[in-house]
Amino acid sequence: MSGPPPGLRTVPVAAGDPTRVVLVRHGEAECNVAGVVGGRSGCTGLSPLGRSEAAALCTRLLETGELARAEALYASVLARAVETASIIAPGVGRGLVPQTDCALCELHPGDADGLSWEEFRTRYGEPDWDDDPDAVVAPGGESWTGFVRRASTAVADAARAHPGGLVVVVCHAGVIESTLLTFLPVAVHQGRLRLPTEHTSMTEWELGPFGWRLVRYNDSAHLHTLTR
């Protein structure tokens, strides 16, 4: 038998029919530009640049067909994710209708929803999740540890609902980071990774017999077509 034994391989043999999950970060949002806490009240959808970013991704997907075999398109219920999913849908599974799920949302801000970040600091100070990841962001909101658990579970549930298929999830930078913290063998007490996840970038996982495997992260090649 040629090649090293399985226990010594640096690149494992590909599983026959792994489940593929492609996570797409939403385009730039109005709340990002305005400096507003973007929960269900504060998020009003994409900025003009965000719509251009999503359109650029859709053009890429239609040209390459790389997500044409998708059998499900999920999105967070936040307006910026729903709008992004609607724009890229023609290139996902040949026009799938997005299914929304609150479990795929960015961290729930509770009473901070809709505040400017200046107002947030006045009311709630300067919480630091690197020092205390169990602290809630605001009354009625989530902690970092609670969010990571909720978001990564939602992505895993979407994958397991489509064994051997391709699933596309339009979500948020925090959701993408939550999967990296949960699915990769990082330190148990690892804090936030501070990842530079671009708007409308694609991050891809495979779920096979040996667990999760990261296939690509922050693939945003389509954004080079935009003039910034």
| 116 φ, ψ (degrees, to nearest 5) | -75, 160
- The percent of residues in the chain predicted with pLDDT above 90, rounded, is 81
Checking if the pLDDT of 7 tops 80, the result is no
- Three-state secondary-structure class, residue 119: helix
Domains annotated for the chain, with CATH where assigned, are 17-32+46-108+143-225 (3.40.50.1240)
Q: Bigger pLDDT: 228 or 30?
A: 30
pLDDT number for residue 213: 92
Stated as kind and residue range, the H or E segment containing 217 is strand 211-219
Please name the amino acid found at residue 91.
Answer: G
**DSSP sequence for 1-68:** --S--GGG-SSPPPPSS-EEEEEEEPPPBHHHHHTB--STTT---B-HHHHHHHHHHHHHHHHH-TTT
d(CA 56, CA 51): 9
pLDDT number for residue 216: 95
Residues in the chain: 228
pLDDT number for residue 12: 58
- The percent of residues in the chain predicted with pLDDT above 70, rounded, is 90
The pTM of the whole model exceeds 0.95? no
pLDDT number for residue 171: 98
pLDDT in tens, 149-170: 999 999 999 999 999 999 999 9
pLDDT in tens, 177-205: 999 999 987 655 667 777 889 999 999 99
